[in-house]
Amino acid sequence: MPKATSDAKLLIQSLGKAYAATPTNLKIIDLYVVFAVATALIQVVYMGIVGSFPFNSFLSGVLSCIGTAVLAVCLRIQVNKDNKEFKDLPPERAFADFVLCNLVLHLVIMNFLG
Amino acid sequence: MAATALDSLPAPLRSLRLKTKQQELLLRVSALALIYVLAFVVRLFSVLRYESMIHEFDPYFNYRTTLFLSEHGFSEFWNWFDSESWYPLGRVVGGTLFPGLMVTAALLHRLLRALSLAVHIREVCVLTAPFFAANTTLVAYAFGREIWDSGAGLVAAALIAVCPGYISRSVAGSYDNEGVAIFALLLTFYLFVRAVNTGSLAWALASAFGYFYMVSAWGGYVFIINLLPLYVLVLLVTGRYSQRLYVAYNSMYVLGMLLAMQIRFVGFQHVQSGEHMAAMGVFFLLQVFFFLDWVKYLLNDAKLFKSFLRITLTCVITVGTLALGIGTASGYISPWTGRFYSLLDPTYAKDHIPIIASVSEHQPTAWSSFMFDFHILLFLFPAGLYFCFKRLSDATIFIVMYGLTSMYFAGVMVRLILVAAPAVCLISAIAASATIKNLTTLIRTKSKSSQTVSGKSTGSKAAAKGAVDQSLPFQQNVAIALLLGAFYLLSRYAVHCTWVTSEAYSSPSIVLAARGHNGGRVIFDDYREAYYWLRQNTPSDAKIMSWWDYGYQITAMGNRTVIVDNNTWNNTHIATVGRAMSSYEDEAYEIMQSLDVNYVLVVFGGVTGYSSDDINKFLWMVRIGGGVFPVIKEPDYLVNGEYRVDKGAAPKMLNCLMYKLCYYRFGELTTEYGKPPGYDRVRGVEIGNKDIKLEYLEEAFTTSNWIVRIYKVKPPKNRCDQRHSELAIATTEYFLIAEHVHLAPREKLNEAGNRCADDEPCHGGEDDLELEAVHETQSGGATDVLLDAAAADSGHLLPVVTHEPGRDDRHQQRRRQVDAAQCHPDIAGGGCSPRLAAGRRSALPPSSRRRTAAAAAVAPPALRRAAASWSLSVTGSAGMEGEGGGGGRWREASTVVAGVLNGCQYHQFEIDLIV
Extents of the domains making up chain B: 521-713
Please answer yes or no on whether A112 and B261 come within 8 Å at the CB atom.
yes
Please answer yes or no on whether A94 and B301 come within 8 Å at the CB atom.
no
Cα(A105)–Cα(A61) distance, rounded to whole angstroms?
11
> Of B636, B638, B656, B648, which Cα lies nearest the Cα of B688?
B648
Angle between helix axes B377-390 and B367-374 (nearest 10 degrees) is 80
Please answer yes or no on whether B261 and A77 come within 8 Å at the CB atom.
no
Nearest CA of chain B to the CA of A36: how many Å? 14
pLDDT at residue B708 tops 50: yes
Cα(B622)–Cα(B322) distance, rounded to whole angstroms?
44
Please answer yes or no on whether A101 and B251 come within 8 Å at the CB atom.
yes
pLDDT at residue B830 tops 60: no
Please answer yes or no on whether A86 and B298 come within 8 Å at the CB atom.
no
Q: In this predicted model, what pLDDT tens digit does every residue of B593-615 receive, in sequence order?
A: 999 999 999 999 989 888 889 99
User: What residues in A contact B199, CB-CB < 8 Å?
Assistant: 77-78, 85-86, 89
Chain B nearest-CA residue for A77: B243
Is B201 in the A-facing interface, judged by CB distances under 8 Å?
A: yes
pLDDT at residue B446 in the model: 63
One-letter amino acid of B437: K
Cα(B46)–Cα(B59) distance, rounded to whole angstroms?
15
Nearest CA of chain B to the CA of A49: how many Å? 16
Low-confidence stretches of chain A (pLDDT < 50) are none
ipTM above 0.90, yes or no: yes
Extents of the domains making up chain A: 24-113
User: What residues in B contact A71, CB-CB < 8 Å?
Assistant: 201, 251, 254
Q: Which of A70, A89, A100 sits opposite B205 (nearest CB)?
A: A100
Q: Three-state SS for B604? A: coil
B212, B256 contact by CB (below 8 A): yes
What strands, in cross-sheet order, belong to the sheet with B599-603? Answer: B561-562, B543-545, B599-603, B708-713, B697-702
Nearest CA of chain B to the CA of A84: how many Å? 10
Cα(B644)–Cα(B652) distance, rounded to whole angstroms?
12
pLDDT at residue B310 in the model: 84
Chain A nearest-CA residue for B198: A86
Q: Which of A56, A97, A109 sits opposite B201 (nearest CB)?
A: A97
pLDDT at residue B801 in the model: 30
pLDDT at residue B737 in the model: 52
Q: In this predicted model, what pLDDT tens digit does every residue of B43-100 receive, in sequence order?
A: 999 999 888 999 888 999 999 999 999 999 999 999 999 998 998 899 999 888 999 9
Calculate the dihedral angle through the C-alpha atoms of B771, B774, B780, B782, rounding to the nearest 10 degrees.
-80
User: What residues in A contact B284, CB-CB < 8 Å?
Assistant: none
Q: In this predicted model, what pLDDT tens digit does every residue of B618-672 receive, in sequence order?
A: 999 999 999 899 999 999 999 988 898 888 889 999 999 999 999 999 988 888 8
pLDDT at residue A108 in the model: 95
Q: Out of A4-13, B136-145, B572-581, B619-628, pick the least confident.
A: A4-13
Please answer yes or no on whether A15 and B271 come within 8 Å at the CB atom.
no
User: What residues in A contact B244, CB-CB < 8 Å?
Assistant: 85-86
Is B74 in the A-facing interface, judged by CB distances under 8 Å?
A: no
Nearest CA of chain A to the CA of B220: how many Å? 23
- Cα separations in angstroms, B673 against A91, B237, B516, B681: 83, 69, 15, 11
Burial of A46: CB neighbours in 10 Å, binned 0-12, 13-18, 19+: middle
Mean local confidence (pLDDT), B803-820: 33
Cα(B416)–Cα(B340) distance, rounded to whole angstroms?
13
Q: In this predicted model, what pLDDT tens digit does every residue of B181-209 receive, in sequence order?
A: 999 999 999 999 999 999 999 999 999 99
pLDDT at residue B10 in the model: 57
Please answer yes or no on whether A56 and B261 come within 8 Å at the CB atom.
yes
pLDDT at residue B482 in the model: 92
User: What residues in A contact B271, CB-CB < 8 Å?
Assistant: 59
Nearest CA of chain B to the CA of A18: how many Å? 6
Please answer yes or no on whether B200 and A97 come within 8 Å at the CB atom.
yes
Please answer yes or no on whether A70 and B251 come within 8 Å at the CB atom.
yes
pLDDT at residue B730 in the model: 61
Cα(B122)–Cα(B54) distance, rounded to whole angstroms?
8
B162, B501 contact by CB (below 8 A): yes
Q: Which residues numbered 469-488 in B keep a CB inside 8 Å of some CB on A?
A: none
Question: A–B: how many Cβ contacts below 8 A?
Answer: 93
Q: Which of A19, A70, A71 sits opposite B298 (nearest CB)?
A: A19
Q: What are phi and psi of B12, to 5 degrees?
A: -60, -40
DSSP codes of every residue in B30-59: HHHHHHHHHHHHGGGHHHHHS-S---SSHH
Residue B208, CB-side half-sphere exposure with 13 Å CA sphere = 28
Nearest CA of chain A to the CA of B320: how many Å? 15
Please answer yes or no on whether B255 and A104 come within 8 Å at the CB atom.
yes
pLDDT at residue B855 tops 80: no
pTM for this model (two decimals): 0.77
Please answer yes or no on whether B201 and A98 come within 8 Å at the CB atom.
yes
Nearest CA of chain B to the CA of A13: how many Å? 10
Is B314 in the A-facing interface, judged by CB distances under 8 Å?
A: no
Please answer yes or no on whether A63 and B262 come within 8 Å at the CB atom.
no
DSSP 8-state symbol, A89 = S
Q: Which of B1-10, B131-140, B284-293, B730-739 has the highest mean pLDDT?
A: B131-140
Nearest CA of chain B to the CA of A20: how many Å? 10
End-to-end alpha-carbon separation of chain A, Å? Answer: 51
Q: Three-state SS for B401? A: helix
Q: Which of B255, B261, B295 sits opposite A59 (nearest CB)?
A: B261
Given pLDDT bands bounded at 50, 70 and 90, which one contains residue B533? Answer: very high
Q: In this predicted model, what pLDDT tens digit does every residue of B863-888 receive, in sequence order?
A: 555 555 555 554 444 445 555 444 45
Is B195 in the A-facing interface, judged by CB distances under 8 Å?
A: no
Give the Cα-Cα-Cα angle B173, B179, B185 (nearest 5 degrees): 175
Give the Cα-Cα-Cα angle B572, B576, B579 (nearest 5 degrees): 130
Given pLDDT bands bounded at 50, 70 and 90, which one contains residue B748? Answer: very low
Give kind and range of the element (H or E) at residue A67. helix A55-79
Nearest CA of chain B to the CA of A114: how many Å? 11
DSSP codes of every residue in B430-499: HHHHHHHHHHHHHHHHHHHHHHHHHHT---HHHHHHHHHHHHSTTHHHHHHHHHHHHHHHHHHHHHHHHH
> Of B540, B624, B635, B625, which Cα lies nearest the Cα of B591?
B625
Please answer yes or no on whether B255 and A67 come within 8 Å at the CB atom.
yes
Please answer yes or no on whether B295 and A59 come within 8 Å at the CB atom.
no
pLDDT at residue B231 tops 60: yes
Q: Which of B204, B259, B301 sits opposite A14 (nearest CB)?
A: B301
Please answer yes or no on whether A108 and B262 come within 8 Å at the CB atom.
yes
Q: Which of A14, A85, A89 sits opposite B299 (nearest CB)?
A: A14
Mean of all residue pLDDT scores within chain B = 78
Given pLDDT bands bounded at 50, 70 and 90, which one contains residue B105? Answer: very high
Is B744 in the A-facing interface, judged by CB distances under 8 Å?
A: no
pLDDT at residue B297 in the model: 85
Cα(B328)–Cα(B474) distance, rounded to whole angstroms?
66
Cα(B800)–Cα(B798) distance, rounded to whole angstroms?
6
Mean local confidence (pLDDT), B889-915: 51
Best mutation site among A84, A85, A112, A113 for testing chain B: the one with the most B CBs within 10 Å?
Answer: A85
Burial of B324: CB neighbours in 10 Å, binned 0-12, 13-18, 19+: middle
Cα(B191)–Cα(B608) distance, rounded to whole angstroms?
50
Please answer yes or no on whether A78 and B201 come within 8 Å at the CB atom.
yes
Give me the percent of chain B exceeding a pLDDT of 70.
73
Please answer yes or no on whether A18 and B298 come within 8 Å at the CB atom.
yes
Q: Which residues numbered 241-300 in B keep a CB inside 8 Å of some CB on A?
A: 242-244, 246-247, 250-251, 254-255, 257-259, 261-262, 268, 271, 290, 295, 298-300
End-to-end alpha-carbon separation of chain B, Å? Answer: 115
Q: Out of B126-135, B448-457, B501-510, pick the least confident.
A: B448-457
Q: Classify strands B685-686 and B679-680 as parallel, antiparallel or unpaired.
A: antiparallel
Is B322 in the A-facing interface, judged by CB distances under 8 Å?
A: no
CATH architecture observed for domain B521-713: 3-Layer(aba) Sandwich (3.40)
Q: How many CB atoms lie within 10 A of CB B771?
A: 24
Q: In this predicted model, what pLDDT tens digit does every residue of B367-404 receive, in sequence order?
A: 999 999 998 999 999 999 999 999 999 999 999 999 99
- Cα separations in angstroms, B72 against B68, B148, B188, B729: 6, 47, 31, 51
CA B831 to the chain's CA centroid: 52
Q: Which of B254, B290, B301 sits opposite A63 (nearest CB)?
A: B254
pLDDT at residue B728 in the model: 59
Cα(B175)–Cα(B556) distance, rounded to whole angstroms?
13
pLDDT at residue B323 in the model: 85
